[in-house]
Structure 1
Amino acid sequence: MRPGARPGYESGHSTVGRVDKRQAIGSWLSGPRAAAEQMGADFGYRGERLGLPENGPGSIAPLGRRFGAIFIDWALCMLIAAGPFAQDDRQTQGNLALGIFFVMSVLTVGTLGSTPGKRILGLRVVAEDGGRPGLVWVLVRSVLLCLALPALIWDRDGRGLHDRLSRSVQVRI
């Protein structure tokens, strides 16, 4: 083998016609949207179809902030549930935390437009038309959020299924 040659490639073998599989794997890891954009599809920015700005206040909330907000809210609910309510039973504590999370979500999103975690991270839930979501839609959103699975399914605007079905969107303040 000559110096600098790659093992398995003898001199005289051509690499013409070989496919670089790293590009295919990269598109698979980055998701279908990135692969479609590489092929020339133009989806616009997240929130454009809803009439929201691309950046700044009123734009679609970034995924990292939304996860951070739900983490803060869940930690707060676990602390409340661990207090005087739950004995030493983790199952009871988890169920109480979920109930507290539901009540907190309905009350705070229905009145203020954001939970404590969302408020800390500068997010707000608004109706698709930009107003405050109605109580029925807040209830629908909260039930779906407590089920967890709808929150893990997103559309191309980055809205979870719970937001889409409740006709709401999370935006930056």
Structure 2
Amino acid sequence: MIDRKDLGSWMDGAPNEEGYVKGSSLGLPADGPGAVAPFWRRPLSLLLDWGLCMLVSALVFSGDPLANLVLFVAVNLLFLSLFGATPGQFVLRVRVLPVSGRSPMILRAAVRTVLMLLLLPAVVWNRDAQPLHDVVAGTAVVTL
């Protein structure tokens, strides 16, 4: 008979291998520059970017919710394509790098941003600490 301990539990977290280094299957180093960024930097950079967009929207568009969204998409597309990092990511010293495929960064930024707006891909992560929107776009967020 199958016992509960054989199946595991969602409270145990994601399955992991002892000694596995996050990002190693992507060719990223274990630590230092170019390593997978710590989790806390990702949502904090997102909050900084969203706050910047809301501030600009409040000053220029009287806080229109659609303007907030359009500004957020524009900031992500422009900054990721040109610099590899949004303003919030610059502040927190992380950047988005392509890790697979050969598509141009503007396409990667568009796919990543659209999927991030759907929210669900942003909360589903793999063992390399990549959310689904980064997996689909072929990118990884790394430290500088």
Confirm or deny a common fold (TM above 0.5).
Answer: yes
1:141 and 1:163 in contact (8 A); partners too: yes
Name the residue aligned to 2:106. 135
SS of 1:63 mapped into structure 2:
coil
1:23-38 alignment, distance < 5 Å: 29=11, 31-33=12-14, 36-37=15-16
Name which structure has the greater RCO, CA cutoff 8 Å, separation 6+: 2
Deviation >3 Å, runs of 4+: none
1:127 and 1:168 in contact (8 A); partners too: yes
User: Which consecutive residues of structure 2, in runs of 5 or more, have no partner in the other structure?
Assistant: 1-8
Residues of 1 paired with 2:49 and 2:60: CA distance?
Answer: 19
TM-score (norm 1): 0.71
SS of 2:95 mapped into structure 1:
strand
Identity of aligned residues (%): 36
Post-superposition CA distance 1:38-83 (Å, at most 9, x none): xxx4360110111111111000011101111001000001111111
1:127 and 1:169 in contact (8 A); partners too: yes
Name the residue aligned to 1:78. 54
Deviation at 1:133, TM superposition (A): 5.1
Greater alpha carbon shift after TM alignment, 78-87 vs 158-167: 78-87
Name the residue aligned to 2:31. 55
User: Which consecutive residues of structure 1, in runs of 5 or more, have no partner in the other structure?
Assistant: 1-26, 88-92
Q: Which one-letter code corresponds to 2:23 in the other structure?
A: G
Q: Once superposed, what is the RMSD of the aligned Cα atoms?
A: 2.2
Residues of 1 paired with 2:79 and 2:115: CA distance?
Answer: 16
Task: Give the paired residue count.
Answer: 136
